[in-house]
Amino acid sequence: MPRQPSSNTLTSVRRESSLRGQVALITGATRGIGVALAQQLATQGCDLILTGRSQSALARIRRELSRGKRRILAAPCDVRDPRSVDALFRATRKQFGRLDILINNAGIAHPNLAIEQLPFALWKDVMATNLDGVFLITQAALPFMKRGGTIVNNLSIAATRVFAGSAAYNASKHGALGFTNTLREELRPKGIRVIGLLPGATDTDIWKTLWPQAPRRKMMSPKTVAEAVVCALALASGATVDTLVTASSPLSRM
């Protein structure tokens, strides 16, 4: 069963712990859960590496979060492209030289289509972003991480459930869960924690593609998810949450 700490426990942990001075990299940091994570980690005093495909959006977020003494590297990166990933980590090495927290958050969905109607090009794009991107970023990040570091992979509840019409999205998230579980076992002896984040329905722009008519007023806010992640990150070094599930009100199609 996934381990889901109570809100009282998480609040207590957050008050007692500090992430100040840790270096955190967030992919897909220009909107939704990614922006909320950047905001929450900034309030914790983390130095930030923010990535996304939009240079203008990254610049805007950097301006928003640049108050205070924290260092922020906002660099565009296409997680599907090994050369783009290499460029990101060259910049990371130059400015920080280390990485304490990696959050693989970048992801895309596709319109509701039966398998016989799903174009192969769309299948490949979803798999490249949601699965290949997690692999490429993680592999490049590992040389920067030491004992005590944490990797969080944003998987979605689609990693354990199946939704008709979302074959590529389902497959990419199921694959990312298998990757996450394997990564956890490989890194456990090295003292690097790996957390699989499985948010329920969250009010982000991905619904414009996945289900435009979704009742977003019933969903969790990205801030709620981000706060749960920060609490899990702040656990003492001898503890971890392998799977973090955040839930919203049930939706008829979810």
Query: Which residues are marked as active site?
Result: 169
238 to 108, 146, 253: CA distances (angstroms): 34, 15, 39
Helix extents (H) in the chain: 7-16, 32-43, 55-65, 82-95, 120-127, 133-141, 167-187, 207-210, 222-233
CB 170 within 8 A of CB 185: no
Cβ atoms within 10 Å, residue 236: 9
**23-26/193-199 β-pairing:** unpaired
Cβ atoms within 10 Å, residue 30: 24
Instruction: Measure the CA–CA gap between 157 and 115, rounded to whole angstroms.
Output: 20
